[in-house]
Amino acid sequence: MKAYRPHSGWKSKLHEIIYEADTPAGKLFDIVLFFLIILSVILVMLESIEEVDQNHHRLLLTLEWCITIFFSLEYIARLISIKKPWKYVFSFYGIIDFLSTIPLYLSYILAGSQVLLAVRAFRLLRVFRILKLVKFIGEASQLQSALKASRTKIAVFIYVVLILSVILGTLMYLVEGDEAGFTSIPRSIYWTIVTLTTVGYGDIAPQTPLGQFLATVIMILGYGIIAVPTGIVTAEFSRNGEKGKEGSNMVHVNTQACPNCSAEGHRDDATHCYNCGHLL
Amino acid sequence: MKAYRPHSGWKSKLHEIIYEADTPAGKLFDIVLFFLIILSVILVMLESIEEVDQNHHRLLLTLEWCITIFFSLEYIARLISIKKPWKYVFSFYGIIDFLSTIPLYLSYILAGSQVLLAVRAFRLLRVFRILKLVKFIGEASQLQSALKASRTKIAVFIYVVLILSVILGTLMYLVEGDEAGFTSIPRSIYWTIVTLTTVGYGDIAPQTPLGQFLATVIMILGYGIIAVPTGIVTAEFSRNGEKGKEGSNMVHVNTQACPNCSAEGHRDDATHCYNCGHLL
Amino acid sequence: MKAYRPHSGWKSKLHEIIYEADTPAGKLFDIVLFFLIILSVILVMLESIEEVDQNHHRLLLTLEWCITIFFSLEYIARLISIKKPWKYVFSFYGIIDFLSTIPLYLSYILAGSQVLLAVRAFRLLRVFRILKLVKFIGEASQLQSALKASRTKIAVFIYVVLILSVILGTLMYLVEGDEAGFTSIPRSIYWTIVTLTTVGYGDIAPQTPLGQFLATVIMILGYGIIAVPTGIVTAEFSRNGEKGKEGSNMVHVNTQACPNCSAEGHRDDATHCYNCGHLL
Amino acid sequence: MKAYRPHSGWKSKLHEIIYEADTPAGKLFDIVLFFLIILSVILVMLESIEEVDQNHHRLLLTLEWCITIFFSLEYIARLISIKKPWKYVFSFYGIIDFLSTIPLYLSYILAGSQVLLAVRAFRLLRVFRILKLVKFIGEASQLQSALKASRTKIAVFIYVVLILSVILGTLMYLVEGDEAGFTSIPRSIYWTIVTLTTVGYGDIAPQTPLGQFLATVIMILGYGIIAVPTGIVTAEFSRNGEKGKEGSNMVHVNTQACPNCSAEGHRDDATHCYNCGHLL
């Protein structure tokens, strides 16, 4: 006897289709939405490539309008079918839904807002909601809990890395001149992080022997430091795995042998032999 | 009394030599094949180097013809000696065998198919079959099972990385102008993956302070994210190893309850309750 | 009855505010100091950017003077309120405090010391003291102990990496000519470390086939070697974690032998032999 | 009663000094040798820097001659003091010792052998012998045994990485034209390894969209693959650590309580309470 009572028949039906994924109609809606989102993101990408946009502008715009209209209708349907529309509007997904619908309209109203069209790529975030509904990523929860458990340690780690970067970046700024690309401290810090994380673009690279020596130290530091987040997350994963495993069907056994039948491997808390029943 | 009865004497002999590695002849065949494959791949590589090809074209071509003829004969022999030739033809290794034999013939028949000569390098895949036969990679099975067990988690991980890349790539496209190399969203996503995986070519690099700041965030993210697949695989490896190691003082217990005292967690091979001694 | 007795009322009060963080005033002082340090580091960064410095020189200088005067007063207060001022002056934080106060004064006295202004960025190190006081980084202690435990192993590892780099760097110097950028052995070693740590700037890159082959070997080596520090730290983390977790069924035993039966491995808190029951 | 009987007094004395490190003289010899090796390697490095060599050629040469003469005398002393000189000459360290002594002499005899002077940097390898003697790297043995245990797995791993590189490199050669730098298959394989190991020089970088897409796949592959060696080594370390740790001062205890005093946490094999001595 659930207390939830939808305000009217078709609204509750709509709610079921849009917000749930247990009925065939709800599932179909989610699948259609999923592919439309992927399609729309691909459209945004194609539009951003100049030559593609010049040759197929008309086609891309038409498809974009279809998707925008579908998303607009979906947004309105979501507003209607829910009991507390304002709560939805200001929720995370509500804002994402709004932002992924509005840009095309805006590009006609506001001059210069054409740049904002790329914002539509954030529609991709909507995919997460669908995946949550169809429980596709049940596996992800274990990942999430391991990351959550090691959150504080990772924060401390990033904090130390940042301070290290500022100190080392300033040092490199002092050592290397402007001609090597270390023109300011922030730029020098940027280079330090590029090096510490072993990314290494090479757009800025030390030229003086001392600078190269320091760079070497930073690299080996970065090479060693990477072990820390890995160690944290791995330890957490191992722990999580063991909890699950040992709780269910593994117990510690001791090396005591049954005085009657010499069977070994009794549970730590055993008082009788599992083999012959004799008192241990 | 095995039911398997080869259709004729020499065919069964041929089958034994080609498909098995237990007899001396079979072993020899595998070793010869192994070195021919390696040799042929080296030939393909040398051919692709322009100066080598110009100076030694005749020699390379002659050697290539020898190998191709050997592979052709081997392919025919495989077809003859097997009971269900069609099944072989459309199997994974059947297709690889065919593709690694045909290109040289095709280059004489079809104009412009010379480019396809490089396809011969895929002959290297044939090496895996030989290795499987001689059981060289018994060690690999543990690697494989660990990877297989963490497959779903890795898939979720790659999925999240891809979505992150699209979102961050779009952001960088909005922040950085064309002159820095971020000319389109796909190109921007390409750059994001280059940065997130800490590869960092440097062919595209952010120029604006905001872009460099964002790049910094992406790098540290990538630096931290690498901990996740490592953690997954390591936890899996440790678990696999422990199974073997802890054989001495850890046993599997089942969910059977004692009919007398309802104690749970008996050894799989238990016949008496470890608690009250009652027969299970 | 602690022997500590402050020399006078207001000095002990000052000491409490500056050196401790248990009273509201002490906490406030730490928070103010924290934000001033961050602000001053941001100022140093902004000053180093030429265009910002040119447009807002006056504002930056004024703010810098305010902070320097505050830091000067704080330094004097620290000297006054402590019982052994000289011990503080030559302690790690004492030197940092001094170095982060003096540069602005020096820049007026000594010609050419303007370059030293960047030294003020090391003020960031002062942040560590504040964090230690407010016990913000209690989590960090676990990180620290894990790193400390694996210190020797990491030192051996870095040592081996350095020797490897010298050997491989010399080899690359012999193989590659000057035109590829391998102009001297130290530069070649620099390149080797850049490659081994997978940073890969690309400012120096091998041109000859043999050099590229060697580079490939170095890369795969580096790719594999990174597993070692990660392995060390991870193993240490897992161990630390387990200590906590296995508190239930694992205890530390000492090396004491029973005087009666010579059995070893008693619990640290054992008073009787677990084997014969004799008093330990 | 050791069977070892040195042939004569001063020879056995010399042997003790050179080959052992237990006597004060032997220790001193090792320390002097250690610093001379380091010094000589630094000399080789400095010589390779053109400007340093031009300005201080005379000083560097003099120092080099001193070291070479010392090494020559040491080599002769090693030959004299050992019982089986030929065995030493053809041993690993015997060859290293010879190679690190001879280049300077050769540079006067053979024309063009000046290039070989860099070979002297391999003198660094001699350091390992000294370290072995003074047992400085006792910690390294654990590292070594962990690496040795995972040797086969790492070999399989590198083997798979190499085959992957050849296949993917050929694919990139087919996709990308000459203008992007993929001029031959070996060069293409070189690029693939540069990318797969996340080094990423950027001297060769894909230009076509398809090439960039493939590069992206290779990067993510490499990003994931790095987890495998790390996983292998870490699992081995954890195992090794546990062995050592548990063997010495940690034992499994069960949850049994003493019937007399209710103390908990007895050893698995305890028969008496560690607290009161009562029979368990």
Domain containing B194 — which CATH number? 1.10.287.70
Q: How confident is the model at residue D240 (pLDDT cuts 50, 70, 90)?
A: low
Question: What distance in Å separates residue A254's CA from the closest CA in chain D?
Answer: 6
Range of weakest confidence among A102-116, B161-175, B207-221, C212-226:
A102-116
Question: Chain C: residue nearest A238 by CA?
Answer: C238
Pick from A174, A202, A234: CB nearest C234: A234
Pick from C198, C199, C234: CB nearest B234: C234
Pick from A200, A234, A254: CB nearest D254: A254
List of chain B residues whose C-beta atoms are within 8 Å of the C-beta of residue C202: 201-202
Average pLDDT over residues D182-207: 89
Does residue B103 form part of some domain? yes
Average pLDDT over residues B237-244: 63
Predicted local confidence at residue A179, as pLDDT:
78
Do the beta carbons of residue C258 and residue D271 sit within 8 Å?
no
Question: What distance in Å separates residue B186's CA from the closest CA in chain A?
Answer: 6
List of chain D residues whose C-beta atoms are within 8 Å of the C-beta of residue A202: 201-202
- Chain A 169-198, residues with CB within 8 Å of chain D CB atoms: 198
Residues B128 and B55 in one domain: yes
Q: End-to-end distance of chain B based on CA atoms, in angstroms?
A: 40
Does residue D262 form part of some domain? no
- The span from the CA of A247 to the CA of A235, in Å, is 18
- The span from the CA of A240 to the CA of A146, in Å, is 7
Predicted local confidence at residue A269, as pLDDT:
58
pLDDT at A2 over 50: no
- The overall average pLDDT reported for chain D is 78
Choosing from A71, A106, A136, the residue where a domain stops is: A136
Predicted local confidence at residue B190, as pLDDT:
92
Average pLDDT over residues D8-17: 80
Most D CBs within 10 A among B134, B148, B237, B249, hence the mutation to make, goes to B237
Touching chains, A (3+ CB pairs < 8 A): B, C, D
Residues D27 and D95 in one domain: yes
- Chain A 232-251, residues with CB within 8 Å of chain C CB atoms: 232, 234-235, 238-239
Please judge whether A194 and B200 are an interchain contact, meaning their C-beta atoms are less than 8 angstroms apart: yes
Range of weakest confidence among A93-102, B110-119, B191-200, D10-19:
B110-119
At a CB cut-off of 8 Å and minimum separation 6, what does C50 contact? A183, A184
Residue given tokens 């300011």 in the structure block:
A184
Range of weakest confidence among A216-225, C257-266, D27-36:
C257-266
pLDDT at B248 over 80: no
- Any idea of the CA torsion for D153, D155, D156, D158, to the nearest 10 degrees? 120
Let me know the angle formed at the C-alpha of C85 by C84 and C90, rounded to the nearest 5 degrees.
Answer: 110
pTM here? 0.79
pLDDT at A3 over 50: no
- The span from the CA of C55 to the CA of C242, in Å, is 57
User: Which pairing describes strands C250-252 and D250-252: parallel, antiparallel, or unpaired?
Assistant: antiparallel
List of chain B residues whose C-beta atoms are within 8 Å of the C-beta of residue A259: none
List of chain B residues whose C-beta atoms are within 8 Å of the C-beta of residue C201: 202
- Per residue in D72-101, is it b (16+ CB within 10 Å) or e — as a string? eebbebbeebbeeeeebeeeeebebbeebb
Does residue B187 form part of some domain? yes
Residue-number span of the structural domain to which A91 is assigned = 10-136
Question: Chain A: residue nearest D280 by CA?
Answer: A280
Most B CBs within 10 A among C42, C223, C230, C250, hence the mutation to make, goes to C230
Please judge whether D220 and B154 are an interchain contact, meaning their C-beta atoms are less than 8 angstroms apart: no
Do the beta carbons of residue C199 and residue A195 sit within 8 Å?
yes
Distances in Å between the Cα of B92 and the Cα atoms of A182, B99, B111, B140 are 54, 11, 28, 20
Question: Chain A: residue nearest C139 by CA?
Answer: A153
Does residue C2 form part of some domain? no
Do the beta carbons of residue B120 and residue B103 sit within 8 Å?
yes
Q: How many CB pairs below 8 A link A and C?
A: 133
Residues D114 and D192 in one domain: no
Average pLDDT over residues D227-231: 83
3-state helix, strand, coil in chain C (%, to 5): 70, 5, 25
Predicted local confidence at residue D148, as pLDDT:
79
CA B271 vs. chain centroid, Å, equals 45
HSE-CB for A59 with a 13 A CA cutoff: 8
pLDDT at A245 over 50: no
Tokens describing residue A132: 């949550």
- The span from the CA of A41 to the CA of A46, in Å, is 9
Do the beta carbons of residue B210 and residue B179 sit within 8 Å?
no
Number of helical H runs and strand E runs in chain B = 12, 1
Secondary structure (DSSP) of D25-50: HHHHHHHHHHHHHHHHHHHHHHHHSH
Please judge whether B190 and D212 are an interchain contact, meaning their C-beta atoms are less than 8 angstroms apart: yes
Burial of A247 (0-12, 13-18, 19+ CB in 10 A): exposed
Predicted local confidence at residue C256, as pLDDT:
54
Question: What distance in Å separates residue D206's CA from the closest CA in chain C?
Answer: 15
Predicted local confidence at residue A242, as pLDDT:
56
How many structural domains compose chain A? Answer: 2
Does residue D17 form part of some domain? yes
List of chain A residues whose C-beta atoms are within 8 Å of the C-beta of residue B220: 158, 161, 193, 197
- The span from the CA of C157 to the CA of A14, in Å, is 63
Do the beta carbons of residue D141 and residue C156 sit within 8 Å?
no
User: Which pairing describes strands A250-252 and C250-252: parallel, antiparallel, or unpaired?
Assistant: unpaired
Signed CA dihedral, C266, C271, C272, C278: sign only: positive
Q: What is the CATH number of the domain that holds C78?
A: 1.20.120.350
Residues A155 and A71 in one domain: no
Predicted local confidence at residue A277, as pLDDT:
62
Please judge whether D222 and B199 are an interchain contact, meaning their C-beta atoms are less than 8 angstroms apart: yes
Tokens describing residue A270: 């055993």
At a CB cut-off of 8 Å and minimum separation 6, what does C114 contact? C107
Touching chains, B (3+ CB pairs < 8 A): A, C, D
Do the beta carbons of residue D235 and residue B238 sit within 8 Å?
yes
Signed CA dihedral, B193, B197, B200, B206: sign only: positive
pLDDT > 90 fraction of chain B, expressed in percent and rounded: 14
Choosing from C103, C136, C169, the residue where a domain stops is: C136
Residues C120 and C238 in one domain: no
Let me know the angle formed at the C-alpha of A258 by A253 and A262, rounded to the nearest 5 degrees.
Answer: 105
Does residue C276 form part of some domain? no
Choosing from A86, A101, A136, the residue where a domain stops is: A136
Predicted local confidence at residue D129, as pLDDT:
73
A111 at B interface, C-beta within 8 A: no
Pick from B167, B228, B277: CB nearest A125: B167
Please judge whether B170 and A121 are an interchain contact, meaning their C-beta atoms are less than 8 angstroms apart: yes
Average pLDDT over residues A52-79: 90
Secondary structure (DSSP) of D67-91: HHHHHHHHHHHHHHHSS-HHHHHTS
Residues B17 and B90 in one domain: yes
List of chain C residues whose C-beta atoms are within 8 Å of the C-beta of residue D271: 274-275
What 3-state DSSP class applies to B8? coil
- The span from the CA of D175 to the CA of D35, in Å, is 54
D254 at B interface, C-beta within 8 A: no
Does residue A5 form part of some domain? no
Question: What distance in Å separates residue D184's CA from the closest CA in chain A?
Answer: 25
Tokens describing residue A36: 């439309």
Tokens describing residue A97: 């839904």
Do the beta carbons of residue B48 and residue C209 sit within 8 Å?
no
Q: How confident is the model at residue A214 (pLDDT cuts 50, 70, 90)?
A: very high
Please judge whether B202 and C202 are an interchain contact, meaning their C-beta atoms are less than 8 angstroms apart: yes
- The span from the CA of B22 to the CA of B41, in Å, is 27
**Residue C207: other Cβ atoms inside 10 A:** 13
DSSP assignment, residue C270?
Answer: -
Residues A57 and A18 in one domain: yes
- The span from the CA of D148 to the CA of D169, in Å, is 31
Most A CBs within 10 A among D223, D254, D255, hence the mutation to make, goes to D254
φ/ψ of B163, rounded to 5, equals: -60, -45
Residues D86 and D152 in one domain: no
Average pLDDT over residues D96-105: 85
Q: End-to-end distance of chain A based on CA atoms, in angstroms?
A: 54
Residues C129 and C173 in one domain: no
pLDDT at D59 over 80: yes
Distances in Å between the Cα of C56 and the Cα atoms of A133, C73, C117, D31 are 53, 26, 17, 58
Residue pLDDT, tens place only, A124-167: 888 777 766 444 455 666 677 777 777 777 777 888 888 889 98
Which H or E run contains B252? strand B250-252
pLDDT at D134 over 90: no
List of chain B residues whose C-beta atoms are within 8 Å of the C-beta of residue A201: 200-202, 205
A217 at C interface, C-beta within 8 A: no
Average pLDDT over residues B243-261: 49
User: Which pairing describes strands B250-252 and A250-252: parallel, antiparallel, or unpaired?
Assistant: antiparallel
Does residue B280 form part of some domain? no
What 3-state DSSP class applies to C272? strand
Residues D200 and D104 in one domain: no
φ/ψ of A118, rounded to 5, equals: -65, -20
Residues B102 and B47 in one domain: yes
Within C110-198, where are the H helices? Answer: 126-133, 140-149, 151-175, 185-196
pLDDT at D193 over 90: yes
Strand segments (E) across chain D: 250-252
- The span from the CA of D214 to the CA of D172, in Å, is 7
pLDDT at A4 over 60: no
pLDDT beneath 70, residues of chain C: 1-8, 111-115, 131-142, 240-280
Angle between helix axes A151-175 and A140-149 (nearest 10 degrees) is 60
Residue pLDDT, tens place only, B14-72: 888 887 777 888 888 888 888 998 898 898 888 888 888 889 989 998 998 999 999 99
Predicted local confidence at residue A129, as pLDDT:
73
List of chain C residues whose C-beta atoms are within 8 Å of the C-beta of residue A163: 124-125, 127-128
What 3-state DSSP class applies to B30? helix
- The overall average pLDDT reported for chain B is 78
Q: How confident is the model at residue D262 (pLDDT cuts 50, 70, 90)?
A: low
Let me know the angle formed at the C-alpha of C37 by C36 and C38, rounded to the nearest 5 degrees.
Answer: 90
Residues C114 and C172 in one domain: no
